[in-house]
Amino acid sequence: MSLLPAFPDPSAAPSAGDRRRQHVLRAARACFSRHGFHGASMGRICAEAAMSPGALYRYFPSKDAIIEAIAEEERVGAQACMAAMAGPGPLVERMTAVAMDYLRGARDPESGGLMVEICSESLRNTAVGMRFHEIEGEVRSTFREALLAAQASGEIAADLDLDAVMTIIFGIGDGLLLRLQLQPDFDLERIAPYLRSVLVGLLRPTAP
């Protein structure tokens, strides 16, 4: 739920230009996923998008501009994810639903590959890594607020060490995303009840 691959932006109705832009970003994601952020040249991205450099540069003047656009997509996706968590119903159910949506959306090999590349950049403290780290910081603070509110209302245990809990939750999100990439034939839906059990064990919600 953090170093996230694409979440579709729900505010749709794109123009032809938007669609071309989207097309370039999808091609770029595929290239970054396969060759890394450094290994994927603008030439490679053009080839993947089946566009001439001239056509592509009309949408993005540089590789950095493409990376920034992907980061922005991630930010929008992460916000949508967090908004879904703010909905009605017990926190554990909402968290399970959001996590399953996230994992479903990240099922394709390219998203998983991109996530590994983002991790690698984050571990190396590169500019790309820092940009994604910043987005993660936003997600983390929204997440903390949701947990604090649930503690205040007595919905989950009041004595939780929230930093430890969030490290585990984010770790589960990242790890499952990777795992599911490594097991492409595994039926993701089998995970849901166990994810719920894990959250119940971790957060100790009060019975409804």
Question: Which C-beta is closer to its own copies: that of 88 or that of 124?
Answer: 124
Cβ atoms of 22 and 60 within 8 Å: the answer is: no
| Nearest-approach distance from CB 54 to its own copies, in angstroms | 32
Half-sphere exposure of residue 147: CA atoms within 13 angstroms, side-chain side = 22
Taking the least distance from each CB to its own copies, the nearer of 59 and 129 is 129
Which residues make up the interface to its own copies (CB under 8 A)? Answer: 34, 109, 112-113, 116-117, 119-120, 122-124, 133, 161, 163-165, 167-168, 170-176, 178-183, 186, 190-191, 193-195, 197-202, 204
C-beta of 69 vs 178, nearer to its own copies: 178
Contacts of 123 (CB under 8 A, 6+ apart): 129
CB of 105 to its own copies, least distance (A): 16
CB 35, CB 45: distance < 8 Å: no
Of 98, 74, 87, whose CA–CA distance to 169 is shortest? 98
Token pair for residue 17?
């230009």
Nearer to its own copies among residue 60 and residue 112 (C-beta): 112
